[in-house]
């Protein structure tokens, strides 16, 4: 099963399912214009991968994980449509097919740059569908533009469920997944041991938007609010640990 | 019998003939490097600046079993990047001055983080010995370290020490000498990155070797730095071989593509995973009870008690200073006044006046430095070395952001209460020039010991203690307001706080003493010449009648705008040398100690206020110029002058309504 066909099915479920309702096998087979038997087979595979819940009678629905993945593809698809239409001046009727092909090979980085390049469009050109929000840790598109205009650098991976350490509580633990900042600041944080994948724990959060003190590699480091808010972690829930 | 070998035996050449060696101490901040340095060099220390750099340097001599060993204490740093001047100075020293041994001092209780720097030292290929310090603190944290394993993993001798008690120091010196005799190790570095990185480092290093660039750094190290996109090394290499930069960029891009991270981040991560592996192999951690120092730590950063302790620390520091200072000052002034009157004198022969100027300048210096500044520095060093000051900076960070600075700026600001001069030098702990400048600007308004004398002598004595306190409050408000304005004017971005929170510990007497002496000495060098020459000059100028016309020129401002008596122009000119001359000279000019007879309360308060603000004193201007250049010093002085005129004029008008 290629990732392309997985992505196509995720997108189909995403489009066909309204308000989280299940989508029947026949609806999907109509959508792809293929035999219901091969749809059933595919849906079972999706269920196995944890992207969908599937029962033979009620049909399939996306899990939270599947929904996020589907939204990402839909976002790439619609951003590409905008690009093909607005920049390359391809007719509205032709952008969809082209975007369907391109969406699978668009990297996350390219998606992000495309979004910024197009000035954060919110609707696609052909059927005015909403472009899903990015999962980047920005409160607004303006913030995203501003951050990138400042020439900040970043290390680590943007992942789902990124949490900034300013949002953690004292005693919380996490693994550094993504840091954003000026080159010098980034270099300093790496030098002090905050490399991606490092386990940290929050020791103190000073009141009044004060600094956050984190424990890393046996030392303690205080990070000012501005710097701390750009350090993101995968939270290691205490109750999930031994 | 004939000699079979020439006079210079191999061993002797390696030994430098006379047995003279140079040790360089390197390591992270606060690992006890200064304590080790003090243990090695005793009292033979020279503390100064690195040539042409605003970075402190300390050097000393160790006489050890017939050898004379020069010991250089490098600044405490975390890495050999270009984050700060300290890092650049240190790596240039190690690479270019070729010390016989680099002694890397580590905090055994934070082994992993410290090894990150050790790995970089090994990369530089320097003759290295490790001093695993603070073994006692590690033990308290339940950490035991297998020395043999650490030595094997790093390929470097390791000596555990408790420097503060002198434990292990003898063995350290012995080991270091052995390393020095072996000379620069030519074996391949024991530090290896992943294959995909190692290949590219090797490729680049070979290219550097083959081109014979005559760089003074080892080729492998240069290769790594180029891959890290190090601006300084790039500059050095590109002047000799621009192609090399291109090659390095290509290789760096390849590494970034493999790891999907910028190359410098990949290398940092690799070093840390290495450090982590080595540390975990050599270290055993057993469970321990929460220590007293951690308990204390929890209080000093508590969301409520933290503020109380912070306020207590600052208030205590100032209270201590002025209690002890006031006491000592009286004793000293009396003693020196017994020799000769210390008030400015304007009558008699030019020589007499000149002499009086010199003498009163000297007395001014002594009565400022010894009673106020030295006790202040002692206590400050205690607070600093114990780690309490970092907790105060932690709590005050958000407040400092209001003037575009972060928590660390609090340290020089507090220093300013003693004297602005060392405080401005203390701004070096800030990362960027912009932050240093903003902090220095704020400091020029901090009521130093001399300004405090002015407030006490003019206002508290003749108007009331309440008004004196009000002046302090106004001054604080002015610092905040002007700090905000400066923040808007000075271009650039503020960087945030990144500060290590070291464990709280009992301060070391030797470190406190050394720190106090270093600060006092640097103060003496700037303050005494300024005081003595300044006060002699100003008094002579006054005596030969130059000041009065100058004062008349100023009278539209002093009398018209500020409502001060006509004599104020002269007082303020004298006060540039030293602020409390305003007080001393008014006593001399009016010929009475009861100033209330000659000035109204409004005039006294306005004079004190203007006196605090109108210009930084001569010494402060001198240190500003040294640290930031004449242009910045002039700009800050003008800003002070304008602020004083505005605040003074407004205060005069408002006070006239009240008093």
Q: Nearest Cβ partner of A220 from B112, B275, B501? A: B501
Q: Give pLDDT, residue B6.
A: 33
Q: Give pLDDT, residue B461.
A: 81
Q: Give pLDDT, residue B635.
A: 93
What residues in B contact A208, CB-CB < 8 Å?
398-399
**Cβ-defined contact of B261 to A188 (cutoff 8 Å):** no
How does DSSP classify residue B133?
A: E
Would you say B25 and B62 are in contact if contact means Cβ atoms under 8 Å apart?
Answer: no
**Selected residue of A152, A155, A212 to mutate for chain B interface (largest B Cβ count, 10 A):** A155
Mean pLDDT of the region B473-480: 89
Nearest residue of B to residue A213 by CA position? B501
Nearest residue of B to residue A178 by CA position? B261
C-alpha to C-alpha distances, A107 to A114, B97, B176, B407, B438, nearest whole angstrom: 10, 49, 53, 41, 43
Q: Nearest Cβ partner of A211 from B109, B276, B394? A: B394
**Selected residue of A146, A196, A207, A211 to mutate for chain B interface (largest B Cβ count, 10 A):** A211
Cα–Cα nearest to A27, from A11, A41, A7, A12: A12
Nearest residue of A to residue B432 by CA position? A184
Return all residues near A169 (Cβ < 8 A) that are at least 6 apart. A202, A205
Cβ atoms within 10 A of the Cβ of B354, count? 16
**Minimal Cα–Cα distance from A40 to chain B, Å?**
37
Q: Strand pairing of B128-133 and B101-107?
A: parallel
How does DSSP classify residue A88?
A: S
Taking the model in full, what pTM does it have?
Answer: 0.76
Alpha helix (H) residue ranges in B340-464 = 350-368, 374-386, 388-400, 410-418, 420-426, 433-443, 449-454
**Minimal Cα–Cα distance from B265 to chain A, Å?**
7
B354 alpha-carbon distance from chain centroid: 36
Sign of the C-alpha dihedral, residues B394, B400, B401, B402? positive
What residues in A contact B501, CB-CB < 8 Å?
203, 213, 220-222
Q: Give pLDDT, residue B188.
A: 56
How does DSSP classify residue B545?
A: T
Q: Give pLDDT, residue B185.
A: 57
d(CA B618, CA B535): 10
Q: Residue B24: pLDDT above 90?
A: yes
Percent of the residues in chain B that have a pLDDT greater than 70, as a whole number: 92
d(CA A123, CA B313): 58
Return all residues near B378 (Cβ < 8 A) that are at least 6 apart. B512, B516
d(CA B344, CA B357): 7
**Minimal Cα–Cα distance from B408 to chain A, Å?**
10
| CATH T-level topology, domain B10-182 | Rossmann fold (3.40.50)
Q: Give pLDDT, residue B413.
A: 87
Would you say B136 and B162 are in contact if contact means Cβ atoms under 8 Å apart?
Answer: yes
What residues in B contact A189, CB-CB < 8 Å?
498
Indicate the average pLDDT of chain B.
Answer: 84
Cβ atoms within 10 A of the Cβ of B630, count? 11
Q: Give pLDDT, residue A81.
A: 87
Q: Strand pairing of B101-107 and B21-27?
A: parallel
Domain boundaries, chain B: 10-182, 195-285, 305-658
d(CA B324, CA B314): 16
C-alpha to C-alpha distances, B620 to A213, B325, B338, B441, B626, nearest whole angstrom: 35, 21, 30, 11, 10
**Cβ-defined contact of B398 to A223 (cutoff 8 Å):** no
**Cβ-defined contact of B111 to A223 (cutoff 8 Å):** no
Question: What does the buried/exposed string (b/e) look like for A51-62 if buried means 16 or more CB atoms within 10 Å of the residue's CB?
Answer: bbbbeeeebbbb
Token pair recorded at residue B522: 């640097």
Greatest CA span in chain B, whole angstroms?
Answer: 105
Q: CA-based Rg of chain A, rounded to a whole angstrom? A: 21
- The DSSP secondary structure of A113-174, one letter per residue, reads HHHHHTT---B-TTT-PBPPPP-SS-SSHHHHHHHHHTT-EEEE---TT-EEGGGSPTT-EE
Token pair recorded at residue B622: 């001198």
**Bridge partners (DSSP) listed for residue A231:** A179
pLDDT digits (tens, 9 = 90+) for A147-166: 666 566 777 766 656 778 88
**Cβ-defined contact of B301 to A207 (cutoff 8 Å):** no
pLDDT digits (tens, 9 = 90+) for A107-116: 888 888 888 7
Could you give the angle at the alpha carbon of B44 between the alpha carbons of B38 and B46, nearest 5°? Answer: 90
Return all residues near A35 (Cβ < 8 A) that are at least 6 apart. A29
B436 alpha-carbon distance from chain centroid: 11
Mean pLDDT of the region B444-453: 86
**Cβ-defined contact of A210 to B496 (cutoff 8 Å):** no
Instruction: Report helix angle B231-238 to B219-227, nearest 10.
Output: 120
Identify the three-state secondary structure at position B146: coil
**Cβ-defined contact of A211 to B116 (cutoff 8 Å):** no
3-state helix, strand, coil in chain A (%, to 5): 45, 20, 35
d(CA A218, CA B89): 27
Which of A21-26's residues contact partners 24+ apart within 8 Å by CB, and which partners? A21/A61, A22/A58, A22/A59, A22/A60, A22/A61, A23/A59, A23/A60, A23/A61, A24/A58, A24/A59, A25/A56, A25/A59, A25/A60
**Minimal Cα–Cα distance from A146 to chain B, Å?**
14
Confidence bin at B52 (pLDDT 50/70/90):
low
d(CA B304, CA A11): 52
**Cβ-defined contact of B269 to A219 (cutoff 8 Å):** no
What residues in A contact B137, CB-CB < 8 Å?
none
Q: Residue B11: pLDDT above 50?
A: no
**Cβ-defined contact of A217 to B306 (cutoff 8 Å):** no
Alpha helix (H) residue ranges in chain A = 3-16, 25-32, 36-49, 64-82, 92-102, 108-117, 141-149, 183-191, 225-228
Phi-psi region of B42 (alpha: psi -120 to 50; beta: other; left: phi over 0): left
Q: Give pLDDT, residue B650.
A: 92
Instruction: Report helix angle B618-628 to B433-443, nearest 10.
Output: 180
C-alpha to C-alpha distances, B42 to B23, B35, B173, nearest whole angstrom: 15, 10, 14
* Window from B65-74, B585-594, B628-637 with minimum mean pLDDT: B585-594
pLDDT digits (tens, 9 = 90+) for A228-239: 888 888 888 654
Q: Nearest Cβ partner of A191 from B79, B112, B494? A: B79
Nearest residue of A to residue B298 by CA position? A204
Q: Give pLDDT, residue A135.
A: 64
Return all residues near B543 (Cβ < 8 A) that are at least 6 apart. B346, B347, B350, B353
**Cβ-defined contact of B116 to A193 (cutoff 8 Å):** yes
**Cβ-defined contact of B406 to A153 (cutoff 8 Å):** no
**What architecture does CATH give domain B195-285?**
Orthogonal Bundle (1.10)
d(CA B275, CA B606): 61
Mean pLDDT of the region B142-166: 92
Cα–Cα nearest to B365, from B533, B510, B200: B533
Q: Strand pairing of A173-181 and A153-156?
A: antiparallel
d(CA A135, CA A79): 14
d(CA A207, CA B398): 9
Q: Nearest Cβ partner of B78 from A191, A196, A222? A: A191
Confidence bin at B130 (pLDDT 50/70/90):
very high
**Bridge partners (DSSP) listed for residue B59:** B46, B72
First to last CA, chain B: 103
Q: Residue B350: pLDDT above 50?
A: yes
d(CA A15, CA A8): 11
d(CA B234, CA B241): 10
Return all residues near B249 (Cβ < 8 A) that are at least 6 apart. B229
Instruction: Report helix angle B242-259 to B219-227, nearest 10.
Output: 60
**Cβ-defined contact of B431 to A223 (cutoff 8 Å):** no
Q: Strand pairing of A173-181 and B45-49?
A: unpaired
Confidence bin at A1 (pLDDT 50/70/90):
very low
Q: Give pLDDT, residue B187.
A: 54
Q: Give pLDDT, residue B449.
A: 80
d(CA B264, CA A187): 8
**Cβ-defined contact of B83 to A206 (cutoff 8 Å):** no
d(CA B651, CA B562): 8
Q: Give pLDDT, residue B649.
A: 92
What residues in B contact A193, CB-CB < 8 Å?
112-113, 116, 272
Q: Nearest Cβ partner of A223 from B273, B399, B497? A: B497
Could you give the angle at the alpha carbon of A78 between the alpha carbons of A73 and A81, nearest 5°? Answer: 130
Would you say A215 and A203 are in contact if contact means Cβ atoms under 8 Å apart?
Answer: yes
Q: Give pLDDT, residue A143.
A: 61
What residues in A contact B81, CB-CB < 8 Å?
187-188, 191
In chain A, which residues touch B (CB < 8 A)?
150, 153, 155-157, 182, 184-193, 195-198, 203-204, 206-211, 213, 216-228
**Cβ-defined contact of B496 to A197 (cutoff 8 Å):** no
Phi first, then psi: what are they for B266, rounded to 5°? -60, -45
Please name each of the domains of chain A with its CATH number.
3-62 (1.10.10.10), 153-240 (2.30.30.90)
Could you give the angle at the alpha carbon of A7 between the alpha carbons of A4 and A13, nearest 5°? Answer: 145
Cβ atoms within 10 A of the Cβ of B203, count? 14
What residues in B contact A150, CB-CB < 8 Å?
493
Would you say A171 and A202 are in contact if contact means Cβ atoms under 8 Å apart?
Answer: yes
Q: Give pLDDT, residue B641.
A: 92
What residues in A contact B269, CB-CB < 8 Å?
190, 195-197
């Amino acid at each position: 099963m290629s990732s392309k066909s997985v992505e196509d099915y995720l997108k189909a479920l995403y489009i066909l399912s309204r308000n989280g309702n299940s989508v029947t096998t026949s609806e999907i087979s109509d959508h792809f214009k293929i035999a219901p038997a091969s749809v059933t087979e595919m849906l079972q595979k999706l269920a196995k991968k944890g992207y969908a819940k599937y029962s033979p009678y009620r049909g399939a629905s996306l899990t939270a994980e599947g929904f996020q993945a589907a939204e990402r593809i839909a976002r790439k698809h619609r951003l590409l449509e905008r690009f093909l239409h607005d920049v390359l001046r391809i007719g509205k009727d032709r952008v969809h097919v082209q975007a369907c092909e391109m969406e699978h090979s668009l990297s996350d980085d390219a998606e992000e740059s495309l979004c910024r390049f197009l000035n954060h469009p919110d609707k696609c050109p052909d059927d005015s569908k909403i472009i899903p929000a990015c999962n980047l840790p920005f409160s607004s598109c303006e913030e995203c533009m501003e951050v990138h205009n400042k020439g900040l650098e970043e290390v680590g991976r943007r992942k789902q469920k990124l949490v900034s350490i300013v949002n953690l509580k004292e005693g919380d633990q996490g693994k550094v997944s993504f840091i954003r900042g000026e080159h010098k600041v980034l270099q300093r944080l790496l030098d002090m041991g905050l490399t991606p994948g490092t386990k940290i724990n929050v020791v103190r959060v000073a009141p009044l938007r004060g600094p956050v003190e984190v424990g890393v590699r046996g030392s303690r480091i205080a990070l000012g609010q501005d710097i701390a808010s750009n350090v993101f972690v995968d939270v290691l829930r205490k109750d999930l640990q031994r | 019998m004939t000699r079979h070998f020439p006079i210079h035996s191999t061993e002797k050449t390696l030994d430098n003939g006379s047995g003279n060696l140079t040790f360089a101490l390197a390591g992270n901040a606060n690992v006890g490097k200064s304590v080790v340095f003090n243990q090695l060099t005793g009292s033979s220390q020279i503390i100064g600046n690195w040539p042409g750099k605003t970075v402190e340097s300390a050097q000393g001599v160790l006489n050890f079993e017939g050898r004379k060993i020069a010991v250089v204490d490098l600044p405490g740093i975390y890495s050999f990047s270009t984050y700060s001047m300290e890092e650049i100075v240190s790596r240039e020293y190690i690479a270019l001055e070729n010390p016989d041994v680099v002694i890397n001092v580590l905090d055994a209780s934070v082994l992993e983080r410290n090894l990150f720097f050790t790995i970089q030292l090994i990369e530089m290929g320097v003759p290295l010995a490790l001093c695993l310090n603070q073994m006692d603190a590690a033990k308290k944290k339940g950490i035991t370290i297998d020395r043999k394993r650490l030595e094997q993993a790093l390929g470097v001798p390791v000596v555990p020490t408790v420097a503060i008690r002198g434990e292990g120091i003898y063995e350290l010196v012995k080991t270091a000498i052995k390393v020095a005799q072996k000379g620069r190790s030519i074996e391949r570095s024991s530090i290896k990155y992943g294959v995909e990185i190692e290949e590219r480092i090797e490729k680049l290093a070979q290219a550097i070797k083959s081109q014979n660039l005559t760089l003074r750094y080892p080729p492998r190290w240069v290769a790594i730095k180029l891959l890290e996109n190090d601006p300084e090394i790039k500059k050095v290499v590109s002047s000799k071989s621009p192609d090399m930069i291109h090659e390095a960029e290509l290789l760096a891009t390849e590494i970034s593509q493999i790891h999907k991270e910028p190359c410098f981040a990949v290398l940092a991560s690799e070093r840390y995973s290495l450090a982590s592996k080595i540390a975990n192999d050599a270290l055993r951690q057993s469970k321990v009870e929460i220590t007293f120092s951690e308990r204390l730590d929890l209080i000093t950063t508590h969301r409520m008690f933290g503020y109380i302790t912070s306020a207590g620390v600052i208030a205590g520091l100032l209270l201590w200073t002025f209690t002890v200072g006031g006491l000592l000052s009286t004793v000293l002034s009396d003693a020196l006044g017994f020799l000769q009157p210390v008030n400015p004198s304007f009558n008699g022969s030019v020589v007499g006046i000149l002499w009086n100027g010199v003498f009163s300048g000297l007395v001014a210096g002594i009565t400022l430095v010894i009673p106020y500044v030295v006790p202040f520095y002692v206590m400050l060093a205690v607070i600093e070395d114990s780690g309490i000051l970092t907790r105060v900076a932690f709590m005050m960070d958000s407040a400092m952001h209001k003037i575009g600075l972060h928590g660390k700026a609090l340290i020089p600001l507090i220093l300013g209460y003693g004297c602005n001069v060392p405080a401005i030098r203390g701004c070096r702990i800030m990362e960027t020039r912009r932050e240093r400048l903003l902090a220095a600007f704020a400091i020029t308004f901090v009521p130093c010991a001399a300004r405090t004398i002015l407030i006490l002598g003019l206002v508290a004595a003749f108007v009331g203690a309440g008004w004196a306190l009000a002046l302090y409050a106004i001054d604080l408000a002015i610092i905040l307001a002007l700090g905000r304005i400066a923040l808007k004017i000075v271009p650039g971005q503020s960087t945030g706080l990144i500060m290590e929170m070291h464990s709280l510990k009992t301060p070391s007497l030797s470190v406190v003493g050394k720190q106090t002496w270093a600060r006092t000495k640097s103060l003496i060098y700037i303050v005494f010449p300024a005081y003595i020459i300044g006060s002699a000059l100003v008094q002579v100028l006054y005596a030969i009648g130059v000041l009065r016309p100058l004062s008349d020129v100023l009278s539209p401002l002093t009398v018209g705008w500020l409502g001060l008596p006509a004599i104020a122009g002269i007082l303020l000119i004298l006060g540039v040398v030293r602020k409390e001359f305003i007080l001393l000279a008014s006593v001399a000019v009016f010929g009475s100690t009861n100033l209330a007879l000659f000035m109204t309360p409004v005039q006294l308060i306005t004079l004190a206020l203007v006196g605090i603000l109108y210009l930084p004193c001569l010494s402060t201007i001198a240190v500003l110029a040294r640290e930031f250049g004449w242009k910045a010093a002039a700009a800050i002085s003008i800003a002070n002058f304008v602020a004083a005129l505005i605040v003074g004029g407004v205060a005069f008008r408002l006070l006239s309504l009240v008093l």
